[in-house]
């Protein structure tokens, strides 16, 4: 039987909720388990209710799940808010000396978190680490793994040693005093080389692998950690990472770097992307390859800055005035974040256009165990480059009209080559024009790129039998929850399969239409209020969707929620 554990660390900002959650997740990953973890935090430095969920399995885990096996409640509010989410046989660990002993048939277990921290380290601030040790003690996990991680996280000096001492105190306290029934016992399996990454970290690694050398971005949750990660690796990989005065400057700097021949990227959220839209049009007109990461959060305006949503799809598809080709990719997993980022850079230079990587807060900040990326088959494709040929007497024209719409690209500074372009409409030589004939020919040239780009888009990923009665459709971060929901429904006897879109534009209309034609019922699952993918499917295929399962409260889907809605919709 597959071992399974669901832990939540809950408290207020400033209590180290994220630190404890991350170390727990990493401890189980290092012991050979598959892990998925997500964080929920308010937009404040102190106070508020925050939590970090860690789901652990021997088999691959793709999404968050309910209910809880262990609740580590670091304050009274968290105990009150979350104790109702405990599974039958689940246990809440809390500091009864701070909130009073309210034991409940073994489900609520008091551990003197602050007192143990003060006794072992003279600091009640380490109460969160006592809680960490308590959770590991409850499941009987190898404390040596946690000890090593605490030393890695806090160093091998006094701080690291103190955290080890207090974690051990929590571990031993639970082993000695807990007398209730708790059925989950996890021993380390085989030591694992799997990485524990967030979506943003995987995007940053994908950019490094793709040869990105310039990043300009203005901090905006949830994209900020991409810039932070790359800045920390800048010296090691020869990167230039800039924080300009705003998002307008960021995209214009990226356009300038790419025009000079450097692979370049920016990262922002929806509000920042609003400011970048004019620059996006400049990249489209000048045929300058750039990669833009847009990590969605709820809007409009400031919205919920630390929550998740998928409300920007239609905006991304049509952003900027006028018409020009673009590619839109939307990773669904941590692995996708890496591979699609690499692909984005190749597509941008192969077709000389902007590529937008559309993610969201849930995927950006969630952790998952992933296998080491195999880089052996990766090749950096810089696209069609200009090669001077004196015998042919070719004069360089930056926007030469070709059958593919792709013009040979020269970089600034190449000997004997003058690179000219313009933000006004221009001719093949890059100089501005006004005549109708040239305008028409240049528009047709740019739009022809979509014909080649369409052929490069991977079809949607199908899971389950092709002849299933029910089809669940999603995009981006909903993939894991949809796959697990389909497993739940199949276990109940429902004929169901899923279709996931990661490469959204140019839209794979033929493949989606074919899949819809085989199903009696189809449901699009999205974190938005208007069913933006469902609208796009109906517009591009002419087929109707049976139902829309929408969620727009700033929180991600769980597999159980999707299964419940499908049952309800199915009557």
pLDDT tens by residue, 277-306? 999 999 999 999 999 999 999 999 999 999
Do residues 130 and 170 lie in contact, with contact meaning Cβ atoms separated by under 8 Å? yes
| pLDDT score recorded for residue 319 | 97
Tell me 426's DSSP state.
Answer: B
The model's pLDDT over 479-523, given as tens digits with 9 standing for 90+, comes to 999 999 999 999 999 999 999 999 999 999 999 999 999 999 999
Nearest CA among 414, 416, 418 for reference residue 429 = 418
Mean pLDDT of 342-349: 98
- Which strand ranges, in their side-by-side order, compose the sheet holding 327-329? 240-242, 214-216, 264-268, 290-296, 354-360, 327-329, 503-505
User: Is a pLDDT exceeding 50 seen at residue 201?
Assistant: yes
User: Is a pLDDT exceeding 90 seen at residue 387?
Assistant: no
Nearest CA among 102, 117, 97 for reference residue 167 = 117
Burial class (CB in 10 A: 0-12, 13-18, 19+), 148: middle
Q: What is the DSSP string of 315-380?
A: HHHH-SSS----EEE---SHHHHHHHHHHHHHHHHHHTSEEEEEEEHHHHH-EEEEPPP--TT---
Which alpha helices (H) appear in 180-265, and where do they start and end? 199-209, 224-232, 234-237, 247-259
Q: Do domains 4-177 and 461-569 have the same CATH topology?
A: no
This prediction's pTM: 0.95
The model's pLDDT over 525-568, given as tens digits with 9 standing for 90+, comes to 999 999 999 999 999 999 999 999 999 999 999 999 999 999 99
> Residue 390's pLDDT band (boundaries 50, 70, 90)?
low
> Residue 393's pLDDT band (boundaries 50, 70, 90)?
low
| pLDDT score recorded for residue 101 | 56
Pairing of strands 521-526, 470-475: parallel
User: Looking at domain 196-370, does it have CATH number 2.60.40.1930?
Assistant: no
**CATH topology (fold) of 461-569:** Rossmann fold (3.40.50)
> Residue 61's pLDDT band (boundaries 50, 70, 90)?
very high
> Residue 1's pLDDT band (boundaries 50, 70, 90)?
very low
The correct CATH number of 4-177 out of 3.40.50.1360, 3.40.920.10, 3.30.110.60, 3.30.428.10 is 3.40.920.10
The model's pLDDT over 159-192, given as tens digits with 9 standing for 90+, comes to 999 999 999 999 999 999 998 889 898 887 777 7
Q: How far apart are CA 365 and CA 25, in angstroms?
A: 14
| pLDDT score recorded for residue 102 | 65
| pLDDT score recorded for residue 106 | 58
Lowest-confidence range among 19-28, 44-53, 473-482, 518-527? 44-53
| pLDDT score recorded for residue 103 | 56
- pLDDT above 70 covers a percentage of the chain that reads 97
| pLDDT score recorded for residue 187 | 82
- Average pLDDT in the chain: 94
| pLDDT score recorded for residue 212 | 98
Mean pLDDT of 53-81: 94
Mean pLDDT of 448-455: 97
Query: Domain map of the chain by residue range?
Result: 4-177, 196-370, 384-456, 461-569
Which two tokens mark 363?
A: 């995927």
- For residue 529, the SS3 value is coil
Lowest-confidence range among 2-6, 242-246, 316-320, 544-548? 2-6
Q: How far apart are CA 4 and CA 466, in angstroms?
A: 30
| pLDDT score recorded for residue 391 | 47
Task: Please list, in sequence order, all residues whose beta carbon lies within 8 angstroms of the beta carbon of residue 463, skipping any fewer than 6 positions away.
Answer: 483, 486, 497, 498, 500
| pLDDT score recorded for residue 394 | 66
> Residue 105's pLDDT band (boundaries 50, 70, 90)?
low
The model's pLDDT over 121-154, given as tens digits with 9 standing for 90+, comes to 999 999 999 999 999 999 999 999 999 999 999 9
User: Is a pLDDT exceeding 70 seen at residue 104?
Assistant: no
| pLDDT score recorded for residue 447 | 98
Which two tokens mark 11?
A: 């408290």
């Amino acid at each position: 039987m597959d071992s399974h554990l669901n832990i939540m660390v809950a408290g207020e900002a400033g209590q180290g909720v994220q630190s404890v959650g991350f170390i727990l997740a990493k401890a189980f990953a290092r012991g050979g388990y598959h892990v998925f973890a997500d964080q929920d935090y308010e937009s404040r430095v102190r106070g508020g209710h925050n939590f970090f969920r860690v789901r652990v399995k021997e088999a691959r885990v793709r999404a968050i799940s309910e209910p809880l096996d262990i609740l580590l409640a670091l304050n009274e509010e968290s105990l009150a808010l979350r104790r109702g989410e405990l599974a039958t046989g689940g246990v809440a660990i809390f500091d009864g000396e701070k909130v009073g002993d309210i034991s409940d048939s073994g489900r609520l277990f008091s551990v003197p978190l602050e007192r143990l921290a003060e006794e072992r380290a003279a600091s009640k601030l380490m109460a969160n680490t006592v809680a960490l040790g308590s959770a590991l003690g409850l499941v009987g996990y190898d404390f040596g793994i946690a000890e090593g991680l605490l030393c890695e996280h806090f160093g091998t000096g006094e701080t690291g040693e103190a955290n080890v001492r207090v974690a051990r105190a929590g571990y031993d306290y639970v082993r000695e005093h807990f007398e209730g029934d708790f059925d989950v016992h996890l021993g380390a399996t085989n030591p694992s080389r799997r990485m524990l990454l967030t979506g943003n970290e995987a995007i940053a690694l994908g950019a490094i692998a793709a040869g990105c050398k310039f990043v300009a971005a203005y901090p905006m949750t949830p994209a900020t950690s991409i810039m932070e990660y790359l800045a920390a690796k800048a010296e090691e990989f020869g990167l230039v990472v800039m924080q300009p005065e705003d998002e307008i400057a960021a995209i214009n700097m990226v356009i300038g770097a790419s025009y000079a021949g450097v692979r370049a990227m920016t990262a922002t959220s929806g509000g920042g992307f609003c400011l970048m839209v004019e620059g996006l049009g400049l990249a489209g007109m000048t045929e300058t390859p750039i990669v833009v990461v847009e990590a969605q959060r709820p809007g409009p305006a400031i919205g919920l800055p630390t929550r998740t949503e998928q409300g920007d799809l239609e905006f991304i598809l049509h952003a900027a005035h006028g018409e020009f080709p673009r590619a839109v990719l939307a990773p669904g997993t941590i692995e996708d974040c890496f591979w699609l980022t690499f692909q984005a850079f190749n597509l941008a230079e192969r077709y000389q256009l902007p590529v937008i990587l559309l993610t969201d807060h849930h995927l950006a900040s969630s952790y998952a165990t992933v296998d080491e990326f195999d880089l052996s088959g990766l090749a950096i494709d810089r696209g069609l480059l200009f090669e001077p040929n004196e015998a042919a007497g070719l004069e360089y024209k930056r926007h030469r009209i070709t059958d593919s719409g792709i013009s040979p690209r020269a970089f600034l500074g190449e000997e004997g080559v003058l690179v000219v372009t313009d933000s006004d409409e221009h001719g093949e030589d890059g100089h501005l024009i006004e005549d109708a004939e040239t305008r028409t020919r240049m528009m047709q040239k740019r739009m022809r790129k979509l014909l080649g780009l369409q052929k490069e888009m991977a079809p949607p990923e199908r899971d389950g039998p092709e002849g299933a009665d029910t089809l669940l459709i999603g995009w981006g971060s909903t993939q894991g929850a949809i796959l697990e929901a389909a497993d739940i429904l199949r276990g109940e006897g429902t004929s169901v399969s899923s279709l996931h879109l990661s490469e959204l534009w140019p839209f794979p209309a033929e493949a989606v239409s074919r899949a819809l034609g085989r199903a009696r019922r189809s449901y699009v699952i999205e974190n938005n209020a208007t069913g933006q993918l469902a609208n796009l499917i109906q517009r591009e295929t002419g087929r109707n969707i049976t139902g829309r399962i929408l969620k727009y409260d700033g929180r991600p889907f769980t597999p159980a929620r999707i299964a419940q809605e499908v049952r309800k919709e199915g009557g």
